[in-house]
A and B are shown apart, each in its own frame.
Chain A
Amino acid sequence: MEHILTPKVEEVKLLDRYTAKKPAIGTLYLTATHLIFVETSCNTRKETWMLHHLIATVEKLPLTAMGCPLHISCKNFHVAHFVISSERDCQNVHQSLVRLSQPVEELYAFLYNPKQDEDERRNGWGFIDSAMDFKRMGLPNEFWEMTDLNKNYELCSTYHSELGIPKTASKGTVFGSAKFRSRGRIPTLSYYHKESNAAICRCSQPLSGLSARCVEDEEMLQAISRANPKSTFMYVVDTRPKLNAMANRAAGKGYENEDNYSNICFQFVGIENIHVMRNSLQKLLEVCAMKSPTMSDYLTGLENSGWLRHIKAVMDAGVFLAKAVAEDKASVLVHCSDGWDRTAQVCSLASILLDPFYRTIKGLMVLIEKEWISMGHKFTQRCGHVDGDPKEVSPVFTQFIECLWNLMEQYPCGFEYNEKYLLEIHNHVYSCQFGNFIGNCQREREEMRHLISFSLVYFFQTFEIVFNLIEYQLHYLFDRFWCGMYNHFDKGMQPKQSILDHLLTITQKKAEGEKKMTDLQILAVMDGVLADQGSPTGTPPEQTSLSPVSVSHTAENAKPLMNGAAVEEAEIELVPTAGSEKMEPVAIEN
């Protein structure tokens, strides 16, 4: 709390980002966790909440005639432009926010600790458990086993303690291979496709340099290949552009030489590195922030950012993997440089394409746990949670979420979850509550479930049969800029009425209606009981089929209850709320 120099500033203006509309005037509050702007100029109480952890940059701009401008941009793409009349207040707020938005590292609750996770599991928190997921895939089986070779994280410090490896790979092979892989990230199982016996494995780049080779690593790949006896070859996919991979050879790293490994089919898929992606997002955000751009400015900016091209590259790679497994029935080994960014993206996308489980709410959590957290995606650095090297920040996870959104746009009935779930996950990742959300805190998860509740329609569609289709459609789909993500806080740009919200309201009403109906039925039955008593043709068997509650009711207490219900009923409107309400700007932003 000692960081908060001025807890409250009055007469603050919030400028509209796009139009020259009159700025909103209100009061700015600084709390330990949030920056809150309460608009006082209009009759409805409109609040804007910004979580300190989400703040990416706070900028104090030069004094103007209006006052002292303060520009805040958040990691969830929320941008706010305040004008504070007193320069001193502005200075104080700025200083406080700079401190509050960059927490001290050791205080950080986020750092992921697998050991702690084990404890959690022992406590019966098996909801998100990647080991369970391997069991679900049918492991261990005659080809694959789960090994605890990494139980003390000696094999690889950034991997999970339990790893899926081919049965035929000896301990020597595994440890030998680890020495030949960047940071010891050996080839390990990511997804096992029961139907075809083909597997998706992931690792980091080999330390092949210009000519080095490693017998154990070659054996390791052979073992993976043999674990899929029906296929005569396996794919080795390097997700980097060829040029980048070649440059790595000079540094003693590089990629697999097809001559040294038997029966591998080597392939580059050309996803750019974290720095290119970071810059691309930066450009994309500049496009989003343009004031009244022309259509041309916007499309040109979108194109020059290259963002959609990068999204497509990730998606294409995911489709390539899924097709290799489902159609060619061949196993795939994927890596990039360290195998924790691009590799995580494409492995998780391929899993979603192949397995309907990951299209459920729980399944996506499992997938994120399995492919991202337990395989050492550096959330802390990539999301810029702590004040670290800005060059380590990159929207790798954001891209994965966007790919998923694109798939959902195409297959609206293919997913149990909806866009809100993705946005929520994205928000949580950046708000540093990720550890809570995935592993520790049941409450948080309950909240999530409550918020997102469910998808409206959800068939377990198998995507395999429509691979070609996906590929074909991807082509066109990617002119789709995700307005709901990058301009999420510019409500004016969103559709003014949301089909999803509408349907959610309806389904909620339906649930209420159904509940009401059950109540009515109970009442009807109770009245029936009454009637039965009076009528000679009473049918006792019916009574026994009722719930005990209704039977225990007497005529006296049934009546008021019924009246009460009748009043309530009158208020229930089965028809959803009028669109007129939705036309008004959303009252609360946070």
Chain B
Amino acid sequence: MFLCSHFILTQPVTFLVKHQQRCQEMEFAELIKTPRVDGVVLRRPFLPTVEGTLCLTGHHLILSSRQDNTEELWLLHANIDAIEKRFVGSLGTIIVKCKDLRVIQLDIPGMEECLNIASSIEVLSTLDSVSLMYPFFYRPMFQVIEDGWKSFLPEDAFKDLESMTEEWRLSDVNKDYSVCSSYPPLVAVPKDVDDDTLRKAAAFRHGGRFPVLSYYHKKNGMVMMRSGQPLTGTNGRRCKEDEKLINATLRAGKRGYIIDTRTVSVAQQAKARGGGFESEANYPQWRRIHKAIERSSILQESLIKLVEACNDQSHSMDRWLSKLEASNWQTHVKEILTTACLAAQCIDREGASVLVHGTEGTDSTLQVTSLAQIILDPACRTIQGFQALVEREWLQAGHPFQQRCSQSAYSNSKPRCEAPVFLLFLDCVWQILRQFPCSFQFSQHFLVLLFEHTYASQFGTFMGNSASERSKLNLSQKTVSLWSWVNRPQEVERLSNPLYEANCLVIWPSVAPQSLLLWEGVFLRWKRSSRCLDEAYDEMVHIIQYNNKELQNKVNNLRRQLAQLETEEPLLQTP
């Protein structure tokens, strides 16, 4: 358990001190002016206050009561989004606001100590150097059964595809990341299209993101592709190779759909900056549909407003609703889900292939393609399958996690590229999960875990912005993968949904506003006690387990005994 260091942990103090000494020897020593303060009081909503010793290490803020069997707080500096200082006499108070949206308060006796601690936290939580990040220092204290870095290789994913169709091939045109810096070395493309065509098509697409396979729908052989926007510009430039590439995915006489995640006007404006969209004239076999998923900077603003509304305790009911409305968060959720449903509908109901893109093809595009797969493909609703989906459609597909998740809702500094794109995706998955509580192998705990680890983690999985960056950082050698941690039996059990029954159908979520709720498990997680809900959950697990296991066992035992008796019976009756 003590791996997830941003959870509350129980640890012997000796370990803590050793850990601290080790870290002090490292490059962080000069940043930590006061490594240790006694008599610090930790206050958190709904939890008892803890008084103890505060220790700062290179990567953690630790509070230990130095008593057996009491809680300790281990907080990754990377999880700290913002801090506030307050003084009353010589008693200082630091309010720590975390990226997982938790807010805690530390009362520190001594003004100097408090100031030192605060400035150290500020520096340590905003270190720019990637090489100083915790995953490089973290050593797993659990046995790695399966190396997560090798769990979801593109080659393996392609083997599944090969078993279904021969129309696609794996191309290594991007093996040195020269064609597209945000793509992985291996991508799936139509068999009839050669690498040269791919290179030319890449030159015509934003960021070199030429159309690649995202999903193959086994039921009818239709596909979903994704790309960056075409660089038509104001002159309406065209590219024969690009046209050839995407037309190669169409069956004879069939039409496909291009889903542009931007509104028509936004797409029009993009032309001025060299971007654009596929014109009807050049892509006559494709019908273009525009949707309205917002750009990332607007999403970040939305998150900040939402969290502000959730943390405001003074408002009356009506203001809460209007603040929720003003944050637009739920609107984004609805829009993203609607677009994903549209893509899924085109494929499953219309029997047409789909190409999805927005501007860069690294944000809203991935939200849509990954959610459509959740809807269409039952495999994505399993624990392993969902990891594979995140790996394939987010990590390999080049979602810039590091840029997007370096700040969360509390940060005071001006956002640069931060945006809760992935969090919105998780929120949408949660909405589907809520509507189909028996169709997912995982519970919302898994989604919350992923949310936490994208913002701060001891694992290297979400570091870097693309496959090429991750390979430069040599993460698979130097860090531990989150999947290594998740795919251990005890963790799988913790993340499992007790209600799960494999459901091989397409699941169509409702996107009516009444059907979409605020994800309390993330946004109100620290604002309320979940004791009663947890109790209910445990009880539910108990009911199911009793029924499925114990009772089944008892019945089976009896049956076996009976069967035995039955075979013995003739013998008994013969005399």
Is A293 in contact with B513, judged by CB distance below 8 angstroms? yes
Stretch at the interface among B94-102, B202-210, B521-529: B521-529
Q: How far is the CB of B445 from chain A (nearest CB, A)?
A: 16
Q: Which residues of B contact A507 (CB under 8 A)?
A: 543, 547
Nearest to B558 among chain A residues (CB) is A520
Interface centre among B313, B499, B518, B520 (most CB of A within 10 A): B499
Q: Which residues of A contact B510 (CB under 8 A)?
A: 492-494, 496
Q: Interface readout for B543-575 with A: 1 if CB under 8 Å, 0 if not?
A: 110111001101100110110011011001100
Q: Which residues of B contact A109 (CB under 8 A)?
A: none
Kindly state the separation between the CA atoms of A490 and B334 in the bound complex, as whole angstroms: 18
Say yes or no for B26: interface residue by CB 8 A criterion: no
Say yes or no for B519: interface residue by CB 8 A criterion: no
Q: Which of B310, B320, B503, B528 meets A473, CB within 8 Å? A: B528
Within 8 A of B (CB), among A502-534: 502-503, 506-507, 509-510, 513-514, 516-517, 520-521, 523-524, 527-528, 530-531, 534
Kindly state the separation between the CA atoms of A175 and B513 in the bound complex, as whole angstroms: 55
Is A506 in contact with B555, judged by CB distance below 8 angstroms? no
Majority-rule SS of A interface residues: helix
Given contacts A487-B514, A493-B510, A496-B507, contact A303 B555 (CB under 8 A): no
Kindly state the separation between the CA atoms of A578 and B502 in the bound complex, as whole angstroms: 8
Kindly state the separation between the CA atoms of A507 and B501 in the bound complex, as whole angstroms: 16
Within 8 A of A (CB), among B472-524: 499, 501, 503-505, 507-510, 512-518, 520, 524
Is B438 in contact with A456, judged by CB distance below 8 angstroms? no
Stretch at the interface among B11-19, B268-276, B348-356, B534-542: B534-542
Kindly state the separation between the CA atoms of A292 and B535 in the bound complex, as whole angstroms: 37
Q: Which of B321, B437, B536 meets A412, CB within 8 Å? A: B536
Q: Which residues of A contact B512 (CB under 8 A)?
A: 18, 292, 490, 492-493
Q: Which residues of B contact A574 (CB under 8 A)?
A: 547-548, 551-552, 555
Q: Which residues of B contact A499 (CB under 8 A)?
A: 437-438, 499, 540
Interface centre among B325, B520, B532 (most CB of A within 10 A): B532
Interface centre among A292, A303, A530 (most CB of B within 10 A): A303
Is A531 in contact with B565, judged by CB distance below 8 angstroms? yes
Nearest to A498 among chain B residues (CB) is B437
Say yes or no for B281: interface residue by CB 8 A criterion: no
Kindly state the separation between the CA atoms of A438 and B331 in the bound complex, as whole angstroms: 44
Is B325 in contact with A309, judged by CB distance below 8 angstroms? no
Q: Which residues of B contact A582 (CB under 8 A)?
A: 438
Kindly state the separation between the CA atoms of A527 and B316 in the bound complex, as whole angstroms: 70
Q: How far is the CB of B325 from chain A (nearest CB, A)?
A: 4
Kindly state the separation between the CA atoms of A569 and B560 in the bound complex, as whole angstroms: 12
Say yes or no for A108: interface residue by CB 8 A criterion: no
Is A295 in contact with B334, judged by CB distance below 8 angstroms? yes
Is A562 in contact with B434, judged by CB distance below 8 angstroms? no
Is B316 in contact with A294, judged by CB distance below 8 angstroms? no
Q: Interface readout for A441-460 with B: 1 if CB under 8 Å, 0 if not?
A: 00000000000000011010
Is B507 in contact with A481, judged by CB distance below 8 angstroms? no
**For this complex, into which size category does the number of interface residues on chain A fall?**
35 or more
Is B503 in contact with A495, judged by CB distance below 8 angstroms? no
Q: Which residues of B contact A476 (CB under 8 A)?
A: 310, 320, 520, 524, 527-528
Within 8 A of A (CB), among B342-399: none
Q: Which residues of B contact A492 (CB under 8 A)?
A: 510, 512
Is B321 in contact with A457, judged by CB distance below 8 angstroms? no
Is A308 in contact with B321, judged by CB distance below 8 angstroms? yes
Q: Which residues of A contact B558 (CB under 8 A)?
A: 517, 520-521, 524
Is B551 in contact with A562, judged by CB distance below 8 angstroms? no
Is B543 in contact with A457, judged by CB distance below 8 angstroms? yes
Is A524 in contact with B528, judged by CB distance below 8 angstroms? no
Is B529 in contact with A473, judged by CB distance below 8 angstroms? yes
Given contacts A288-B514, A412-B532, contact A516 B555 (CB under 8 A): yes
Is B559 in contact with A520, judged by CB distance below 8 angstroms? yes
Nearest to B546 among chain A residues (CB) is A510
Say yes or no for A479: interface residue by CB 8 A criterion: yes
Given contacts A483-B514, A507-B543, contact A527 B569 (CB under 8 A): yes
Say yes or no for B533: interface residue by CB 8 A criterion: yes
Nearest to A308 among chain B residues (CB) is B317
Kindly state the separation between the CA atoms of A459 and B322 in the bound complex, as whole angstroms: 37
Say yes or no for B25: interface residue by CB 8 A criterion: no
Given contacts A509-B547, A574-B548, contact A583 B555 (CB under 8 A): no
Is B317 in contact with A295, judged by CB distance below 8 angstroms? no
Say yes or no for B435: interface residue by CB 8 A criterion: yes
Q: How far is the CB of A67 from chain B (nearest CB, A)?
A: 27
Say yes or no for B124: interface residue by CB 8 A criterion: no
Q: Which residues of A contact B572 (CB under 8 A)?
A: 530-531, 534
Nearest to B572 among chain A residues (CB) is A534
Is B528 in contact with A472, judged by CB distance below 8 angstroms? yes
Nearest to A409 among chain B residues (CB) is B533
Within 8 A of B (CB), among A4-47: 18
Kindly state the separation between the CA atoms of A334 and B572 in the bound complex, as whole angstroms: 78
Q: How far is the CB of B188 from chain A (nearest CB, A)?
A: 30
Say yes or no for A103: interface residue by CB 8 A criterion: no
Q: Which of B507, B536, B540, B569 meets A583, CB within 8 Å? A: B507
Kindly state the separation between the CA atoms of A469 and B528 in the bound complex, as whole angstroms: 8
Q: How far is the CB of B542 from chain A (nearest CB, A)?
A: 8
Given contacts A299-B324, A473-B528, contact A457 B540 (CB under 8 A): yes
Given contacts A499-B540, A524-B562, contact A295 B555 (CB under 8 A): no
Say yes or no for B68: interface residue by CB 8 A criterion: no
Nearest to B45 among chain A residues (CB) is A472
Is B438 in contact with A414, judged by CB distance below 8 angstroms? no
Is B540 in contact with A296, judged by CB distance below 8 angstroms? no
Say yes or no for B280: interface residue by CB 8 A criterion: no
Nearest to A414 among chain B residues (CB) is B532
Q: How far is the CB of B292 from chain A (nearest CB, A)?
A: 10
Q: Which residues of B contact A312 (CB under 8 A)?
A: 317
Say yes or no for A252: interface residue by CB 8 A criterion: no
Q: How far is the CB of A465 from chain B (nearest CB, A)?
A: 11
Q: Which residues of A contact B543 (CB under 8 A)?
A: 456-457, 503, 506-507, 510
Q: Which residues of B contact A113 (CB under 8 A)?
A: none
Kindly state the separation between the CA atoms of A530 and B512 in the bound complex, as whole angstroms: 64
Is B514 in contact with A579, judged by CB distance below 8 angstroms? no
Q: How far is the CB of B344 from chain A (nearest CB, A)?
A: 15
Say yes or no for B439: interface residue by CB 8 A criterion: yes
Given contacts A309-B316, A506-B547, A513-B555, contact A303 B325 (CB under 8 A): yes
Is A506 in contact with B544, judged by CB distance below 8 angstroms? yes
Say yes or no for B318: interface residue by CB 8 A criterion: yes
Q: Interface readout for B298-320 with A: 1 if CB under 8 Å, 0 if not?
A: 00000000000010010011101
Q: Which residues of B contact A483 (CB under 8 A)?
A: 514-515
Q: Which residues of A contact B324 (CB under 8 A)?
A: 299, 479
Q: Which residues of A contact B513 (CB under 8 A)?
A: 293-295, 297-299
Say yes or no for B2: interface residue by CB 8 A criterion: no
Kindly state the separation between the CA atoms of A506 and B501 in the bound complex, as whole angstroms: 13
Is B435 in contact with A456, judged by CB distance below 8 angstroms? no
Q: Which residues of A contact B552 (CB under 8 A)?
A: 513, 574
Say yes or no for A127: interface residue by CB 8 A criterion: no
Q: Which residues of B contact A306 (CB under 8 A)?
A: 318
Q: Which residues of A contact B533 (CB under 8 A)?
A: 410, 412
Is A298 in contact with B514, judged by CB distance below 8 angstroms? yes
Q: For the complex of A and B, list the 5 residue pairs with the smallest distance between their C-beta atoms, beginning with the closest.
A: A298-B513, A412-B536, A299-B325, A303-B321, A457-B539
Give the B-binding residues of A (Cβ under 8 A). Answer: 18, 288, 292-300, 302-303, 306, 308-309, 312, 410-414, 456-457, 459, 461, 466, 469, 472-473, 475-476, 478-481, 483, 487, 490, 492-499, 502-503, 506-507, 509-510, 513-514, 516-517, 520-521, 523-524, 527-528, 530-531, 534, 555, 559, 562, 566, 569, 574-576, 578-580, 582-583
A–B Cβ pairs within 8 angstroms, 16 of them? A295-B328, A300-B325, A410-B533, A414-B532, A456-B540, A479-B518, A480-B517, A496-B507, A496-B508, A506-B544, A506-B547, A520-B562, A530-B569, A575-B548, A579-B501, A583-B507
Beyond the given pairs A308-B321, A534-B572, 6 more chain A to chain B contacts, judged by CB atoms under 8 angstroms and listed by A's residue number, are: A294-B513, A303-B325, A476-B528, A513-B551, A562-B566, A580-B505
